[in-house]
Structures are given as structure tokens and as C-alpha cells.
């Protein structure tokens, strides 16, 4: 697709992978809006990068509808939705509370569902659209301590497959991206301390991979891809 002058909405765009994607799309000439729950962080990033911003919780139905409709109202269309908002929780099964599981699912599963539903209505009406769902390699293989996070990404992968089959007949491309470990604040926020490493991925590399997928002519697309560090050891 031609990215210049496209209208994009990136959830969780204040930092990390979301910020890198928003910046990369802006550099390609897109009109980008970022959204997130923390007004100070969203505003700061938006002002620094010259983006539009909306405060909202993707897991809240009213916020999701308001966010998408606000972008469409301003631009008259929506071309790209990046479902990036999400967080991790890494605990043994026996120590994970029901409330913690619900919290992860609210953001990582229900959030993408609500945003995708609202965006899909516009995509179907205009006969085109790009949906990028940011998952994780944790959604490809279960592992100890990842009951909440890993299963939420398995769920996102399943929903992506359903949306892809449903929306492609409307010329809508639905893609899933599975980053491996990326050097952002994601792990620290989940309570996991990791040493910085020059061998591991950066958010900018995920953004570049997504740009490459979007630039493929719209007659075809990459349904799903993973991004691993070459030699992180």
C-alpha cells in the first residue's frame, strides 16, 4: 500500500514498540494518532513526535468506540489500526489471582477485540484497511509462569485468524506480528529484571518489519510473521 497520506491509529503508542511504530509511520507521511491510558505519557510522546493523541483505555467499550470515531471524524477515514497496547504478567499458576488474569485479558484480548470491531466497521464501509495485531512469540508456545500473558497472546492469535478470514473479502488485510524479546520497559513493568544487551531486539526493528509488510502491494499480504534476535546469547 501507499503509506503517504494514510490515516493510522496506534494503541499503546506512548513508549516501546507502539512509539516506534507511530514514529515510523509518521516518517512515511502518515497522519498518526496514538492512544493510551496515561495522559502525561501520551501527550509527551505526541508533542515530541508531532502526533495527534487521545487518552483512553482500549479495554473500555466506550473509550474504544470514542477513540476510533474521533479519528474518523477528523480525517474522514481510517486506513491502519495497530493493536499494540498490552502488558505482561509472569507468575506461577498457583500464585496467579483471578483478578490478575482478568486484568491481562481486559487489555491484551478484550482491548484488541473492541478496537478491531470499531475499526472493521469503517474498513468494510470504505472497502479497504490494514489491521496489525502485536502479539508475541509467547503466543506460539506455552511456557511456565506465563498462564496469563501467554494465553492472552494465544487468544489474540486466534481472533486474528478469525478476523483475517472474515475481512479479507472486503480488501482488509489482517496481520499478526510476534516479536521475541525486545529491549523496552515491558519486562520491568511486569516485574522481570533483565540486563540490557546489544544482541537483543530494539523496538525500531519491529517497526521496520511492519513497514515492510504494509508496503507490499495490497493484492497480497503477510498473514503472520515473527521477529527473533539473530544471536541473543
Q: Cite the active site residues.
A: 149
Q: Report how far Cα 157 is from the mean position of its chain's Cα atoms.
A: 12
Half-sphere CA count of 213, side-chain side, radius 13 A: 25
- Report how many helices (DSSP H) and strands (DSSP E) the chain contains, helices first: 8, 7
Residue 3 CA to residue 154 CA, distance in Å, equals: 29
Comparing C-alpha atoms, which of 33, 46, 27 is closest to residue 7? Answer: 33
What are the helix (H) ranges across the chain? Answer: 16-27, 39-49, 61-75, 98-105, 111-126, 147-167, 186-189, 203-215
Residue 12 CA to residue 15 CA, distance in Å, equals: 7
Residue 35 CA to residue 10 CA, distance in Å, equals: 6
Amino acid at each position: 500500500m501507499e503509506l503517504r497520506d494514510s490515516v493510522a491509529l496506534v494503541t499503546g503508542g506512548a513508549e516501546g514498540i507502539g512509539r516506534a511504530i507511530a514514529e515510523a509511520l509518521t516518517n512515511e507521511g502518515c497522519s498518526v494518532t496514538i492512544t493510551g491510558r496515561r495522559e502525561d505519557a501520551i501527550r509527551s510522546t505526541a508533542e515530541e513526535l508531532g502526533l495527534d493523541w487521545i487518552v483512553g483505555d482500549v479495554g473500555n467499550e466506550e473509550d474504544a468506540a470514542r477513540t476510533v470515531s474521533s479519528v474518523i471524524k477528523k480525517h474522514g477515514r481510517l486506513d491502519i489500526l495497530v493493536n499494540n497496547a498490552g502488558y505482561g504478567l509472569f507468575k506461577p499458576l498457583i500464585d496467579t489471582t483471578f483478578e490478575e488474569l482478568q486484568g491481562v485479558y481486559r487489555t491484551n484480548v478484550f482491548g484488541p477485540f473492541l478496537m478491531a470491531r470499531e475499526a472493521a466497521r469503517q474498513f468494510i464501509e470504505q472497502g479497504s484497511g490494514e489491521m496489525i495485531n502485536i502479539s508475541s512469540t509467547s503466543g506460539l508456545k506455552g511456557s511456565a509462569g506465563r498462564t496469563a500473558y501467554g494465553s492472552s497472546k494465544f487468544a489474540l492469535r486466534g481472533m486474528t485468524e478469525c478476523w483475517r478470514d472474515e475481512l479479507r473479502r472486503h480488501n482488509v488485510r489482517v496481520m499478526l506480528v510476534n516479536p521475541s524479546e525486545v529491549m523496552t520497559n515491558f519486562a520491568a513493568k511486569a516485574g522481570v529484571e533483565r540486563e540490557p544487551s546489544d544482541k537483543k531486539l530494539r523496538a525500531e526493528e519491529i517497526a521496520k518489519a511492519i513497514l515492510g509488510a504494509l508496503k507490499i502491494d495490497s493484492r497480497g499480504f503477510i498473514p503472520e510473521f515473527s521477529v527473533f534476535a539473530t544471536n541473543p546469547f
